[in-house]
Structure 1
Amino acid sequence: MTTAPHHSSAPLPTETLGVVAHAAGDLRIESVPLRRPEPSEAVVQIAYGGICGSDLHYWTHGAAGESILKAPMLLGHEVVGTVVQAAADGTGPAAGDTVAVHPATPGGRGARFPDDRPNLSPGCTYLGSAAQFPHTEGAFAKYAVLPSRMLRRLPANLPLRTAAVAEPAAVAWHAVARAGDVAGKSALVVGCGPIGALVVAVLRRAGASEITAVDVHDYPRTVAKALGADTTLDAADAVSIAAVDADVVVECSGNRFGLESAIRGATRGGRIVMLGLLPTGLQPAPLSLVITRELELVGSFRFNDEIDAVLEALADGSLNVEPVISHEFGIEDGLEAFAVAKDASASAKVLLAF
């Protein structure tokens, strides 16, 4: 399904096939221009791209949270591939190296943030994001021009297909780190979409003693089980969720019902990591329990350099992610791939093969 890497000695194309969101409900597989790289940029032949919830939101709603589509935008930030033209300034990986991509560009002024947490910088841009205008183009294309600083060489024994999950796994890794030391502790994961499932995998690797995973659908619960959950519960089973009494909870559903489950399922003095992005505005929640149980609510947003640790853990086999990859489609079947990815009851991480 994938082609052999382009040879850097041959001229690069001026156009490439990409996945472009034009407006709500208007997703197209079409030719897009391949711009000339700046001296600090490399050209990567993309092998795989994972479809993220934000990609689905741009397609279905024309927006992802506060980021509203104002012009056609190339989607995609979960990508891996092979460098076919290294950066002219000598930075970054060499031609022929297989790489994962860290899609963030920290920056911006106006709001304070901790120096060691660039993910919180106010003007941080992300590949395939409409947060700024002009939009930050993504990398769901056969070729992508990317800053060399975004590229992470893959360990020699790590296949590109497995590495395609590195970016969402880094999001999960960051969230588990926000929970503190989880070794020997009981954990509850609310919402078992791809991110929640990967949180289960990271918790298992980090030594959590007992992991309970909750979802509204059977299929995601099956994936969570395959990734290391000891017990799975239906999200409607409020009595069983409240009885979990978990030391650590990671809320991955991004809705108020999931947050309520997270609060009720946490033990007294426990910590809840809020990873699922709640809708804008006020959200009802049983906050009296947060007070009387002295619960800690902490946010988790994207990641910093955790992707490096993830790649090492994928390479040495200590982080098991294979069960989260449910489907693979060629780029020509990209519209079908998005339709499958939209159905959370029947898919987990859907990959596009370029």
Structure 2
Amino acid sequence: MSNLAVVAYAADDLRVEDAGTPVPAADEAVVRIAYGGICGSDLHYLRHGAAGASILREPMILGHEVSGVVVVEAADGTGPAAGTPVAVHPLTPHGDGVTPWPADRPNLAPASSYLGSALHLPHTQGAFAQRVAIPGRMLHEVPASLDLRVAALAEPAAVAWHGLARAGDVRDRSVAVIGAGPIGQLVASVARRAGASVVTVTDLHEKPRRIAEARGIRSLDARDADAISALHADVVVESSGTEPGLSAAVSAAARGGTVVLLGLQRAGDVAVPMSTAITRELTLTGSFRFAAEFDDVIAALADGSLDVSGIVSEVRPAADALAAFALAADPASSCKVLLDFAAD
């Protein structure tokens, strides 16, 4: 039986090929993957052969936003039983023996591995395959009532959840989100669930703004600098990962407000309007991945309190991964694109 997988070899070299039968270690279960969400890091590997400092040096199966069903449980008894629907928490925290990090924040461990990451060699293979061996500790049970397409959003939703939590309690506070791609849309959803008084997203493209409006979220054209500076938002989440987005985030923040730096900026120095941040006494806080929020996110997706309607814009068969990646790379045409690993 073939095991179709999506493998990155180098920049502009993405292949759909047979990964062979997974051979699990004692602490690994075999999961039949149902859906996988194409993430920005996956797109970076395709476009550039790297995602930040993680450079492709060998073929690597992509993917870390996945849901599926356990078909063979871990031999050592860890993790869910066969037949359990699951979402995957892709982090394995590791220290480097030198750099200190807070033990209660595993997302900050300096030498961690992540499914579908080329940071280490050998690379940490991802989960974009029909069947994958995954450590049982990464597998989180999802209720049978939760559609596995929605469960595939658990990982990016946890990123959004963690990012907004970095600003503290947002109940009855105004929230602006710079960049209305999948993460930005999810941040807006989390903010609404958390009781924000007003939620506004900005984006350069019409489609994500239309998606937000259809979800009952106010949107602004990112080129409308006057409208953005007039927001005076208590909390601003920068999710575009661009220098103009960072400047807009500072501009949109109210005096005494908080700006969460969620979008990953390029390496090296980045221009920031620091005089504005200083004179407004803004709090600038970083956000990276997520920690213990995963089960809370799954529960909120399952009970519907975290509304993610409209965020998945396309579901494509995994066999058509190249076309799906091209679609996901065009923010004017798509939001979150899922690969369907059960499709013929």
TM-score by length of 1: 0.95
Counterpart of 1:142 in structure 2: which amino acid?
Q
1:200 to 172, 188, 208: 188
2:161 pairs with 1:173: yes
1:267 to 254, 267, 273: 254
2:111 pairs with 1:123: yes
Does the residue aligned with 2:19 lie in a helix, a strand or coil? strand
2:152 to 164, 189, 196: 164
Counterpart of 1:217 in structure 2: which amino acid?
H
Alignment check: 8 A CA contact 1:187 1:247 kept: yes
Does the residue aligned with 2:296 lie in a helix, a strand or coil? helix
Counterpart in 2 of 1:57?
A: 44
Does the residue aligned with 1:335 lie in a helix, a strand or coil? helix
Superposed, which structure 2 residues align to 1:197-276 within 5 Å? 197-229=185-217, 231-276=218-263
Does the residue aligned with 1:181 lie in a helix, a strand or coil? coil
Counterpart in 1 of 2:314?
A: 327
Within 1, Cα distance between the matches of 2:142 and 2:181? 26
2:278 pairs with 1:287: no
Cα RMSD (Å): 0.9
Counterpart in 2 of 1:37?
A: 24
Counterpart of 1:313 in structure 2: which amino acid?
A
Within 1, Cα distance between the matches of 2:76 and 2:7? 30
2:127 pairs with 1:139: yes
Does the residue aligned with 2:30 lie in a helix, a strand or coil? strand
Alignment check: 8 A CA contact 2:5 2:17 kept: yes
Stretch moving more, 33-42 or 249-258: 33-42
Does the residue aligned with 1:257 lie in a helix, a strand or coil? helix
Q: CA deviation at 1:226?
A: 3.3
- The Cα offsets for residues 100-133 of structure 1, whole Å up to 9 and x where unpaired, read as 0000000122211111101000111100001111
Aligned length: 340
1:337 to 291, 316, 324: 324
Identity among equivalent positions (%) equals: 58
Counterpart in 2 of 1:72?
A: 59
Alignment check: 8 A CA contact 1:200 1:228 kept: no
Is there any run of 5+ residues in structure 2 with no aligned partner, and where? none
TM-score by length of 2: 0.97
Counterpart in 1 of 2:8?
A: 21
- The Cα offsets for residues 153-209 of structure 1, whole Å up to 9 and x where unpaired, read as 001311111111111000000001101000000011000110011000000100000
Alignment check: 8 A CA contact 1:198 1:227 kept: no
Alignment check: 8 A CA contact 1:82 1:97 kept: yes
Within 2, Cα distance between the matches of 1:232 and 1:37? 46
Within 2, Cα distance between the matches of 1:332 and 1:156? 26
Within 2, Cα distance between the matches of 1:157 and 1:224? 26
Alignment check: 8 A CA contact 2:22 2:30 kept: no
Does the residue aligned with 1:233 lie in a helix, a strand or coil? strand
Counterpart of 1:95 in structure 2: which amino acid?
A
Counterpart in 1 of 2:295?
A: 308
Within 1, Cα distance between the matches of 2:309 and 2:129? 23
